[in-house]
A and B are shown apart, each in its own frame.
Chain A
Amino acid sequence: MAKLHDIAVTVNGELETLSVPAGMTLLELLRDRLYLTGTKEGCGAGECGACTVILGDRPVNACLILAAETDGKEVRTVEGEASAASLSVLQQSFIDAGAIQCGFCTPGMIMSARALLARNPNPSDEEIKEAVAGNLCRCTGYEAIINAVRMAAKREAVTRQ
């Protein structure tokens, strides 16, 4: 009944060509077909932000996007953060600020923060809070996470100089 759709989607800079059923989400595509399991499923309904990825230049919930509609699009996931040699400044800042406990929300937090820093390299605390308001954390609270994003913004500013 439901036919397959051929898509060509660029994930973390790599072009992937696949056939996907219409009912498959981008989240399922990433985790189950491309084995990029950094992106997590929490609620599956756009409430928790654990599946946040960057589609084009905007962070979105991968659970609320169909794989079929990503044909021709660019997706960045948490796996695109680190280089072969080291973690990204943002990732290292999460570690240094103690912003990780169980770690389940971390990939989504990182992607929301990545998108924020791309559009606003020097965000205020209010702007950081707004940017991660769609990412729920049940362990650390949010203080350390906000500290981590602020720390990353400062460190990235130094790197740019």
Chain B
Amino acid sequence: MIGVFDYVRVGSVKEGCDLLAEHEGRARVFAGGTDLLVNIRNNGVSPDLLVDIKGIEPLGKLTVDAPDATIGACVPLNVIGENAAIAERCTALAQAALSVGSYQVRNRATLAGNVANASPAADTAPALLVLDAHVAVQGKAGGRDIPISELFLGVKKNSLAADEMITSIMLPSHAKHMRSAFIKKQRVRGHDLAVINMAGSLDQESGALRVAIGSCAVTPILLSIDSPIDCSAPIDELVARIDKIAQDAIRPIDDLRGSAAYRRGLIPVFLRRLLTMLVEREGGE
């Protein structure tokens, strides 16, 4: 037994939100459970009730029809990462999804859970930030749609109310010339949490650039870059300019995965790698 709690498999979002509201913060949404069950077992989380939402049919769907891609809250990360349309249109997200945990974990872990858990190191968060994702949230009183950047409040703190759950993550359609990528520094190959992670998106026609960094502050951070950038500028110049913005924005700490100084030192290295990937892919292979 990992804990003493009740379990209900709900058939609708409304049923789930009513239960969440009724339990006033003592109930937790249960999808993949790869964070929640570990927290119950090892980290003192002790809900009265787990509300299993995997029986809510629409939440298990991933649709990549124009104009938006919609990823239901119960879609496992492997299904997202292995989806050809996501890999093509939202490359950074597919790469980030496949870098979370192990194969077994990704068969259960969900995108919605990864962001709701609000870890500063959440791999999918930088990808969603640069892809301008929105989160569809439902509560007892109704639904709302928030930009992904407004979901993260602090370490393991999200902006959802006690009666609210994420129902899907929406990715807007992007210009044809938009490219994106995700990179991650981990201590070992295989599965590990990020020392830092970083995602970028670049519209090669307009020069609109977005860069987001994880594991370097209490939340993942989307840099405020004065876009558009000149894609033909020397890479050194671009790296220097964005590194300055990044160094001002991040607040890294020393922890068991790396020191603050090491994290700061990785930023320009990663920026160079990322920008090279985004710029070089212009005009195809």
Q: Write the residues of chain A forming the contact surface with B, with a CB cutoff of 8 angstroms.
A: 1-3, 5, 21-25, 28, 44-46, 49, 52, 55, 58-61, 63-66, 68-69, 112, 130-131, 133-135
Contact B9 A23 (CB under 8 A): no
Instruction: Report the number of A-B residue pairs with Cβ-Cβ less than 8 Å.
Output: 85
B104 adjacent to A45 (CB under 8 Å): no
Contacts of B105 in A (CB 8 A): 46, 61, 64, 134
Q: CA–CA, A68 to B7, complex, Å?
A: 8
- Chain B residue total in the interface (Cβ 8 A): 28
A2 touches B108 (CB 8 A): no
Kindly supply a per-residue 1/0 record for chain B positions 30-53, scoring 1 wherever the CB is within 8 Å of any chain A CB and 0 otherwise: 000110011001100000001010
Closest residue of A by beta carbon distance from B36: A64
- A-B contacts, 17 listed (Cβ < 8 Å): A1-B6, A2-B4, A21-B1, A23-B2, A25-B37, A28-B1, A45-B41, A46-B101, A49-B102, A60-B108, A64-B108, A66-B7, A66-B33, A69-B7, A112-B103, A112-B104, A134-B102
Inter-subunit contact B52/A64 (CB<8 Å):
no
Tell me the smallest distance from the CB of B41 to a CB of chain A, in Å.
6
Whether A133 pairs with B103 at a CB distance below 8 angstroms is yes
Q: Does B26 contact A (CB under 8 A)?
A: no
Q: Is the CB of A22 within 8 A of B6?
A: yes
- B161–chain A nearest beta-carbon distance, Å: 24
A28 proximity list for chain B (CB < 8 A) = 1
Residues of A within 8 Å of B107, CB to CB, are 55, 58-60
Q: Which of A3, A28, A44, A64 has the most CB of B within 10 A?
A: A64
